[in-house]
Structure 1
Amino acid sequence: MNFNLLWSAAVADELARGGVRDAVICPGSRSAPLALALAARLRPHTVIDERSAGFFALGAAKASARPVAVLCTSGSAGAHFYPAFLEAEATDVPVIAITADRPPELHGWGAPQQLDQQRLFGAHAWFAELGLPDPLTLAHLRATVARALEQDGPVHLNAPFREPLTPAPEPLPVVRDEPAVRHLKTRRVAEVREVAAALSQRPRGVIVCGPRDARDDLPSAVRELSQALGYAVLADAASGVDDAAAHADLILRHETWARALAPDAVIRVGGAISSKLVQSWLEQAGYTAIVHERGEPVDPQHRAAAVVPGEAPSVCRALAAHARARGPLAALFELAERRARGALEAAFADAPWGEPLIAREAASAADLLYVSSSMPVRDVDAFAPRRGRVLVNRGLNGVDGILSSAAGAAAVTGARAVALVGDLALLHDLSGLVAAARLRLPLTALCVNNDGGGIFHFLPIAQHPERFEELFATPHGLDLEGAARLCGAEFVRVSDGKTLRSALQRPASGLRIVEARTDRAANVSHHRALQSAVIAALGDPP
């Protein structure tokens, strides 16, 4: 049995023993073991928005005179409980927040959807770290939960989990024997030459450009470095680098091509890329150099041989000045990219209505595209052409605040801005719509409404249908036209590519909400069909 589930069952059992009858559950992947355990042992109430969930738990605890648990996933999700916790503290209401967390080895290394969640609520809540599931500390776990139930007022329990998060077993990963990463404190010429020499000895390389907000001459600097080494350039949609392989996520699904393109070296620029498949493929490289501008270096697997500090354009040019190789991957990736692009153009010419088509049209129409986490950013990254400016909030990978962020971007740039969000992201940030309407910003909020959390259909939990809709997909059945009426915005509902294209190309004088309804189950089929079309068109590598 997956020990994450046994550990979670012990938490749920101890809560029930202590008088807890109700659990408010917010959908999430990292929290899946606890969601399943709490739903089996307690009375579950699924609430989509964590801020709303916190107050839901507060009201339930007041009315029942019992402690109530509220669960969320890792990252920014738990922070949304804060307003309700302040109220619970002021009135000694027993609300127990359980925040799922990434394991310790992913903290401080640029891994997605992680922050320091310990004592997230400071002095406003009693706190305990439950630790990673461990059969040797099960008694300690139960004692900790029991002690939490003795407290007056709000309680915060932080619960880290390693994958697998669902019942399917997975083999343990192989432990690496290589030495830990060496961080260069300053960028000295000798150290840059050392890194450049190491890259020159590894001609099969790729330059990976992740999300980056700055608008500078990075594209030309990356081009210089690529030409100096013969390295391929792989660019995330939000990297600002357009002259690059844009469809690596699709290309690398072809096993023969994935082997033929396997790199010996990787140069990383910018934040973490959105494709988990590409990230896994990059981990086979024997040498990784990270261009580190600020924040945490993106190295959650601790595979970097060197971290070079400095502004990305200048670092890339410094490396290009000292590195020389004639690598084959630039030309090989260019061939694969050309075939993949042709396959997508043919497929989208008569593609059915669905989320990949919506993402492609949004990226083609917007001067500034603000993309939500979850499925929208993945669809833009996989299927859309690289044009215009793409912004994302991917530091913690939350879907909260996207509309407000897009409104701010529209206000300072005056660009023809489109916010591409899912229905849950829109419901998370209705106040963002109000702000955009009040300020009369020319913002188009393009909402992909699949009535729930579509991304969960692509995760392992989808193989366990018994409580999938209730706990993870969380359909809401809401009519989003009411949101437009609420803030006086123009509303357009579209159901085909031509109508969507027309709605996006027509200038917006203020806030416009475009609702594109889709089907979650059909969306999986659309993705697989497009992936198959690209794989078929790639053929075999030369």
Structure 2
Amino acid sequence: MNFNLLWSAAVADELARGGVRDAVICPGSRSAPLALALAERLRPHSVLDERSAAFFALGAAKASGRPVAILCTSGSAGAHFYPALLEAEATGVPLIAITADRPPELHGWGAPQQLDQHRLFGAHTWFAELGLPDPLALPHLRATVARALGQDGPVHLNAPFREPLTPAPEALPAVRDEPAVRHLKARPVAEVREIAAALSQRPRGLIVCGPRHARDELPSAVRELSQALGYAVLADAASGVDDAVAHADLILRNDAWARALAPDAVIRVGGAISSKLVQSWLEQAGYTAIVHELGEPVDPQHRSAAVIPGDAPSVCRALATHARARGSLAALFELAERRARGALESAFADAPWGEPLIAREAALAADLLYVSSSMPVRDVDAFAPRRGRVLVNRGLNGVDGILSSAAGAAAVTGARALALVGDLALLHDLGGLVAAARLRLPLTAVCVNNDGGGIFHFLPIAQHPERFEELFATPHGLDLEGAARLCGAEFVRVSDGRALRTVLQRPATGLRIVEARTDRAANVSHHRALQSAVIAALGDPP
């Protein structure tokens, strides 16, 4: 034991006292004292690539509901944490990024593997410099780490060390090494009587549940609020609320039903929903109240009348206590949902092989589904029933890091996780496959391979074919089986719904890649056909 290790052990102890159970550790020399301490006190996950490691930690934090630590060495290593920390900031996920650093005397004079790491992530994280190990500063170290764990969202702790960086024994000084004061958070529920009264005067209302990774009492609290007001509940696939309207994106494509269902009031919970059509339709409501927990309140058009900070289940129950109305939209939406669900079941029984079918089968098969942005999340949201747990990285809507995030979720839950990604998302995150393979995680990656960016076919740029393929669709022409060989993963290629169902019903014992090849050009028509089937089946509203 030497003092560097004692100092690092104090960091690890405070992390554990603050609720951290998992540490994602990247290899490095300057970070060795902390790596040893974290591995001793927490559950370690060794990930080679810092970018993948940070997304791994993000998925682990979302799935576990606890803060997760990430550690790297000095130099450029920490910069690879940036994309995942930006996503964590946007969604309020508590990541503890720890960057080892060289001591001050090695900065500014050409020493290798050093740069100014202070506030490396700017205003996107809460930052603290832990300072060089110092016997007199040990109480300050513990207090700083404890304070960091009391922040909302990601934090950055910079930790410089002089040698020795290994467990070389040395005489230890007498120190005061006691646990720091704990920083507890209590979020009082806002006074909601005025808002409840406003909602009670508007019986035509909706509760809209967006993406939310917490597993708590929100489903029952939303049900109580819905019953108190007669409001319909619309739930994004990643909301964690199953007892709700799942097919609003399809229902509202029927103009008559969109008019009949138009709300006077909307209560928003969670993040931004996936459907642009539904979002635009909601903006016509004359009164919107936002329940705000994490990240930014979702109100880009500045139409809300009230933003209510607090724990979402508590706020919903407080509103349910005071609000009373006899709204009609719950019953009307229930009728539309029943017709839409029946239309989809009939349509999918004869549907051609394509991306909507793949998304639906993946959602039906998974207990824990991690879905990529772009087309996969839209297809799951539009065409799949609400069941199982769905996680997404929708704070910034990027397609990077999904496989790594899914691997992190699998690591902390023990669940046989399924990641639904496109081919470009898979190529963005090959490091996630490496991490899952090294850690022997039971992860199935279903890759929709349409040889490029299929979402661009739905956008106006598709009407300008001159350089569409080169600059937007970006076909790669790669054989994805090579990624499976690289990682020693099981590889299965499927081309029909029965084969996909058969594969997904068989539990994965390790990393498995299921390639589902599709036709980008036909994908738009597949979507239009399913939308038309639902529009026709809805008929006229009563």
Give the TM-score category using the shorter length. Answer: 0.5 to 0.7
CA contact (8 A) 2:3 2:172 kept: no
CA distance in 2, matches of 1:168, 1:116: 28
Deviation track 1:500-536 (CA, whole Å, cap 9, x = no partner) reads 0011111111000000000111010000000000000
SS state at 2:243 partner: coil
CA contact (8 A) 1:110 1:299 kept: no
CA distance in 2, matches of 1:437, 1:300: 40
Deviation track 1:252-282 (CA, whole Å, cap 9, x = no partner) reads 0001100100000000000100000000000
Deviation track 1:288-310 (CA, whole Å, cap 9, x = no partner) reads 10111122111111111111111
CA distance in 1, matches of 2:378, 2:452: 17
SS state at 1:493 partner: strand
Deviation track 1:184-220 (CA, whole Å, cap 9, x = no partner) reads 9998888300000000001110000000000011101
Cα distance change, pair 102–329 in 1 and its aligned pair in 2 (3 A):
farther
CA contact (8 A) 2:136 2:175 kept: no
Cα distance change, pair 221–240 in 1 and its aligned pair in 2 (3 A):
same
Deviation track 1:156-204 (CA, whole Å, cap 9, x = no partner) reads 9999999999999999999999999999999888830000000000111
SS state at 1:434 partner: helix
SS state at 2:192 partner: helix
CA distance in 1, matches of 2:323, 2:148: 58
CA distance in 1, matches of 2:309, 2:500: 44
Q: CA deviation at 1:154?
A: 27
SS state at 1:189 partner: coil
User: Residue 365 of structure 1 corresponds to which residue in structure 2?
Assistant: 365
Cα distance change, pair 511–63 in 1 and its aligned pair in 2 (3 A):
closer
Cα distance change, pair 272–465 in 1 and its aligned pair in 2 (3 A):
same
CA distance in 2, matches of 1:167, 1:278: 58
Cα distance change, pair 106–127 in 1 and its aligned pair in 2 (3 A):
same
User: Residue 513 of structure 1 corresponds to which residue in structure 2?
Assistant: 513
Moved more, 134-143 or 283-292: 134-143
Cα distance change, pair 379–197 in 1 and its aligned pair in 2 (3 A):
same
Moved more, 122-131 or 22-31: 22-31
Deviation track 1:322-353 (CA, whole Å, cap 9, x = no partner) reads 00000110000000000000000000001000
Deviation track 1:127-147 (CA, whole Å, cap 9, x = no partner) reads 999999999999999999999
CA distance in 1, matches of 2:196, 2:152: 59
Moved more, 178-187 or 236-245: 178-187
Cα distance change, pair 184–29 in 1 and its aligned pair in 2 (3 A):
same
Q: CA deviation at 1:440?
A: 0.8
Cα distance change, pair 322–210 in 1 and its aligned pair in 2 (3 A):
same
Moved more, 336-345 or 97-106: 97-106
Cα distance change, pair 191–43 in 1 and its aligned pair in 2 (3 A):
closer
CA contact (8 A) 2:232 2:331 kept: yes
Cα distance change, pair 315–121 in 1 and its aligned pair in 2 (3 A):
closer
SS state at 2:398 partner: coil
CA contact (8 A) 1:106 1:301 kept: no
Moved more, 94-103 or 190-199: 94-103
Deviation track 1:397-418 (CA, whole Å, cap 9, x = no partner) reads 0000000000011111111210
Q: CA deviation at 1:55?
A: 21
Deviation track 1:90-131 (CA, whole Å, cap 9, x = no partner) reads 999999999999999999999999999999987999999999
CA contact (8 A) 1:95 1:154 kept: yes
CA contact (8 A) 2:87 2:393 kept: no
CA contact (8 A) 1:195 1:306 kept: yes
Cα distance change, pair 274–142 in 1 and its aligned pair in 2 (3 A):
farther
CA contact (8 A) 2:85 2:95 kept: yes
Cα distance change, pair 466–505 in 1 and its aligned pair in 2 (3 A):
same
CA contact (8 A) 1:28 1:472 kept: no
CA contact (8 A) 1:354 1:523 kept: yes
Cα distance change, pair 301–272 in 1 and its aligned pair in 2 (3 A):
same
CA distance in 1, matches of 2:259, 2:4: 34
Runs of 4+ in structure 1 displaced over 4 angstroms? 1-190
**Any gaps of 5 or more consecutive residues in structure 1?**
none
CA distance in 1, matches of 2:285, 2:451: 40
CA contact (8 A) 2:228 2:323 kept: yes
Moved more, 28-37 or 78-87: 28-37
Cα distance change, pair 525–40 in 1 and its aligned pair in 2 (3 A):
farther
CA contact (8 A) 1:75 1:397 kept: no
CA distance in 2, matches of 1:145, 1:112: 28
CA distance in 1, matches of 2:93, 2:313: 53
CA distance in 1, matches of 2:252, 2:28: 27
Cα distance change, pair 424–138 in 1 and its aligned pair in 2 (3 A):
farther
Q: CA deviation at 1:480?
A: 0.2
CA distance in 2, matches of 1:151, 1:541: 49
CA contact (8 A) 1:204 1:265 kept: yes
CA contact (8 A) 1:111 1:272 kept: no
CA contact (8 A) 1:110 1:298 kept: no
Cα distance change, pair 228–104 in 1 and its aligned pair in 2 (3 A):
farther
CA distance in 2, matches of 1:283, 1:55: 33
Q: CA deviation at 1:60?
A: 38
CA distance in 2, matches of 1:264, 1:257: 15
Cα distance change, pair 504–178 in 1 and its aligned pair in 2 (3 A):
same
CA contact (8 A) 1:102 1:160 kept: yes
Cα distance change, pair 258–23 in 1 and its aligned pair in 2 (3 A):
farther
CA contact (8 A) 1:264 1:285 kept: yes
Cα distance change, pair 209–534 in 1 and its aligned pair in 2 (3 A):
same
CA contact (8 A) 2:401 2:432 kept: yes
SS state at 1:51 partner: helix
CA contact (8 A) 1:420 1:446 kept: yes
Cα distance change, pair 274–92 in 1 and its aligned pair in 2 (3 A):
closer
CA contact (8 A) 2:199 2:323 kept: yes
Deviation track 1:352-377 (CA, whole Å, cap 9, x = no partner) reads 00000000000010110000000000
CA contact (8 A) 2:26 2:50 kept: yes
CA contact (8 A) 1:185 1:309 kept: no
CA distance in 1, matches of 2:318, 2:69: 54
Cα distance change, pair 455–188 in 1 and its aligned pair in 2 (3 A):
same
CA contact (8 A) 2:231 2:327 kept: yes
Cα distance change, pair 337–107 in 1 and its aligned pair in 2 (3 A):
farther
CA distance in 1, matches of 2:460, 2:170: 12
CA contact (8 A) 1:113 1:396 kept: no
CA distance in 2, matches of 1:239, 1:389: 9
Moved more, 247-256 or 293-302: 293-302
Cα distance change, pair 210–136 in 1 and its aligned pair in 2 (3 A):
farther
CA distance in 2, matches of 1:411, 1:61: 11
SS state at 2:151 partner: coil
Q: Percent identity?
A: 92
Cα distance change, pair 272–93 in 1 and its aligned pair in 2 (3 A):
closer
Cα distance change, pair 11–285 in 1 and its aligned pair in 2 (3 A):
farther
**Any gaps of 5 or more consecutive residues in structure 2?**
none
SS state at 2:13 partner: helix
Q: CA deviation at 1:53?
A: 21
Cα distance change, pair 514–291 in 1 and its aligned pair in 2 (3 A):
same
Q: CA deviation at 1:538?
A: 0.3
Moved more, 92-101 or 415-424: 92-101
Q: How many residues align?
A: 542
SS state at 1:266 partner: strand
Cα distance change, pair 177–276 in 1 and its aligned pair in 2 (3 A):
farther
Moved more, 182-191 or 442-451: 182-191
CA contact (8 A) 2:64 2:413 kept: no
Cα distance change, pair 178–245 in 1 and its aligned pair in 2 (3 A):
farther
